[in-house]
Amino acid sequence: MRAIVYRSFGGPEVLELAEVERPVPERHEVLVRVRAAGVNPPDYKLRRTPYPPRYTEPPLTPGWDVSGVVEEAGRYTARFKPGDEVFGMLNFPHPAAAYAEYVVARPRQLARKPAGVGHVQAAALPMAALTAWQAFEDVAEIRPGQRVLVHAAAGGVGHLVVQLAKLRGAYVIGTTRASKHDFVLGLGADEVIDYTAVDFAEAVSGVDVVVDLVGGDYPRRSLPVLRPDGTFVGAAGMTDGDAEAYDRAGVRWDSFSVEPDHAALESIARLVADGKLTAHVDQVFPLADAAKAHELMESGAFTGKLVLDV
């Protein structure tokens, strides 16, 4: 089968299309014929250097997000049968080798593909939508009327956070470049801030929840905009110094990493099928052009999601 492989850590140029053996599912796994694979920031972070350090050395195949069709089902599986259309985030944070024509997966890391949605659209959802979902389900419960500030609101995760926050009745403020303001407003955001022209900390205050998808100095800069009983959700991580500053201020904070969750995927699929949640796909690349997709992902010069058509 065809798969993207890198034999050393480095830039996008280390990605190559290769012929490799098709994986064989264990009795508790399914074999999925991949139709599309989502591209996410951890894909290129792992390609550049071990991320986190416990990962094995190359050769490796990147990717976690897939949408496809079950080809084989192990004897000890009951959730799916051959021919079922499925999507999911596989095995994260451990390698899953999703940039390939076939992949093996535990059934409970998959859900049935949303009705009426193609594989490209479905492959754009798992990691980004699960991150957005778990930010609200596991960390910050949103109540109607609360003010939610979303950093990187036009990004892969951010544009889904905006939609989910609006579905929960929040007043949503997004930070993004001016060129993407119309896009974020079209998702339902109530306000947008051009972070390249304005210091968001001076433009907004009295926020109940901050969802940070940027990292760097954003946790520190976000502390003054939060209400004393507010919550900071650090999906991009935060330093020990930032955590201590939040603790001293008595403001709740949490930093988390997304995890596979078939029940959440099923809820997400229902929202997508009902037209209440949409993943915006900026560009679709053929599998052989995975390096070009990584170049664009690292540049940040896109809106929403990037997907590989397998």
Tens-digit pLDDT profile for residues 239-269: 889 999 999 999 999 888 899 999 999 999 9
Query: Can you tell me the mean pLDDT for 174-185?
Result: 96
Residue 52 confidence (pLDDT): 67
What is the residue-averaged pLDDT of the chain?
A: 94
**How far apart are alpha carbons 129 and 4 in whole angstroms?**
24
Tell me the pairing of strands 85-89 and 102-105.
unpaired
Alpha-carbon distance 21 to 232, whole Å?
A: 45
Domains of the chain: 2-125+279-309 (3.90.180.10), 128-255 (3.40.50.720)
Looking at this protein, which amino acid is placed at residue 67?
S
pLDDT band for 76, please (50, 70, 90 cuts).
confident
Instruction: Give Dmax (Cα) for the chain.
Output: 59
**What integer pLDDT is reported at residue 150 of this predicted model?**
97
What's the whole-number mean pLDDT along residues 181-208? 96
pLDDT value at position 206? 95
Residue 76 vs residue 309, higher pLDDT: 309
User: For position 123, what pLDDT does the model report?
Assistant: 98
* pLDDT level of residue 16 (50, 70, 90 thresholds): very high
Question: Once rounded to an integer, what is the mean pLDDT over residues 78-92?
Answer: 96
Percent over 70 (pLDDT), the chain: 99
Average pLDDT over residues 51-56: 69
Q: Residue 130 and residue 235: Cα distance in Å, rounded?
A: 11
Tell me the C-alpha to C-alpha distance, in Å, between residue 212 and each of 79, 80, 90, 136.
Answer: 35, 36, 24, 13
Q: Where residue 77 falls among pLDDT bands split at 50, 70, 90?
A: confident
Query: Greater confidence, 137 or 175?
Result: 175
pLDDT score, position 256:
83
Residue found under tokens 């508790």:
28
Which pTM was predicted?
0.94
Q: Which pLDDT score, from 0 to 100, does residue 53 have?
A: 63
Model confidence at 56: pLDDT above 80: no
